[in-house]
Structure 1
Amino acid sequence: MATSDYARIERAILYLDAHAQEQPRLAEVAAHVGLSPYHFQRLFTRWAGISPKRFLQFQTLEHAKQLLAERRSTLDVTYDAGLSSGGRLHDLFVTLTAMTPGEFKQGGAGLTIPYSVHASPFGDHLLAVCERGICALRFLMGTSPSEAVRELRAEWPHATLVEAPEATRPYAERIFPARKSRTLQSLSLFVKGTNFQLKVWEALLRIPPGAVATYEDIARSLQMPRATRAVGSAVGDNPIALLIPCHRVIRKTGAFGEYRWGLARKRAMLTWESARYPSGEAA
């Protein structure tokens, strides 16, 4: 899907959110994003897999509370299922490898990191990879690609960054496939972080698509029930959007909470997954 399509979807989400109590008609939302009702309905349904009206139902606080009620100790269940070494994301099996303390101090010295900007159902994103795995996925958030590259360079100050779309495109196509894959594919992530951050990110990988967890759930799964605030900080520092699914963490009240890549994008991701994976059932 073209990024311009997602831009319209995001504007529609923000409009639906701002006017939820008024229950706006299809024609009103379509006019807000500059489309006819017919074309907006087709665009929205093609993207979300559900109608705008059904989408609005997924966006309510009541639905979020229902997801929390249905989670049935999601993190404990996935531990028991033997998934503690990785997480499912649609047709992917995601595993995480951490830098050693020595590599951390070196700031990526000796690494060559190809990067490029690609389109996705959730907007343009900068994707960076190295021989150890994917090391960054960041949505542009209205910023220029050059600014995103500067942020990447700040995270890997001594690595050699090379713009190479031919190297990153195969990864982008696996993360956002044009059609459903018949086989489960694996993706490795290469990250740097503190021991605590790594534990939080590993816990996030155990939240199935279509499911949610709270910050308190994550803290309890780490046997650190009082570390909720620290968990929130680690979630916010996640360097690899979507693949480490911090968008699946919401507040215990059912509120969506904040998101590094924009609240509208978080709502879009959660609803997109809810429509495809009811009750947290992976494909």
Structure 2
Amino acid sequence: MIIVKTREEIELMRESALIVSKTLGMIAGELKPGVTTLQLDKLAEEFIRDNGAIPGFLGLYGCPSTLLTSVNEAVVHGLPTDKPLEEGDIVAVDCGAILNDFYGDHAYTFTIGEVSPEVEKLLRITKESLYKGIEQFKIGNRVGDVGYAIQQYTEAEGYGVVRELVGHGLGKKLHEDPEMPNYGKRGRGKKFIEGMTVAIEPMINLGTHRVKQLKDGWTIVTADGKPSAHFEHDVALVDGKPEILSTFKYVHKALGIESDEEDQFRQKPLLV
């Protein structure tokens, strides 16, 4: 069952999402060769609690960490470790926080120093596909329209679209209806309705779409060992159109990136 949110609840969810956005921005400023994902996890927990929120992943489904940090061939759900990050690595940082009883949940894939051109392109296309999907989250469309847009954009580049892991509804629970696959057929699936809130999150592999789980019971990796990218936004359906609740602007500020990619999905400018 889709749980529709009021305008007031959507604004509360925006506050939850922005805690995560600010956490990712803080993490962006800490990333460099030699840093461990365990160190990042500790910083994230402290930051979230210092901002009056609660880590959203820690303890949920038995999760032992605040962040999920997926390095190189890890797709999602990577557990933080004491292994130092190295020049040329990529790391997808997925973070959740609870504020006002609502979850914020989104992710960004970072580069550690210089990466290869083919990996840089994978990250760019995956991030662009996120916005292709968001464009289709509107009245008159269905779940399949979002998945189709992401799938067509990424598979045209020869990339693999993960099937086993999907986006989802978001609210007072981390995972609500509907599931939001990154593949699909136009006009299929549940119909979008005013007040829906979802997490849209392409998980795109450089090679095969096939994945496997490691013995830790959490980390999902590509079956062929090639890199994977993951970007995620929280989005509400407001006045029939997608309204992004989260933002990458804090990440961009930390990394010195100028971008207006989110502006078309905001009814009001976001001040950072």
- What TM-score do you get using the length of structure 2 for normalisation? 0.32
Higher-Rg structure is 1
Higher strand share: 2
Higher helix share: 1
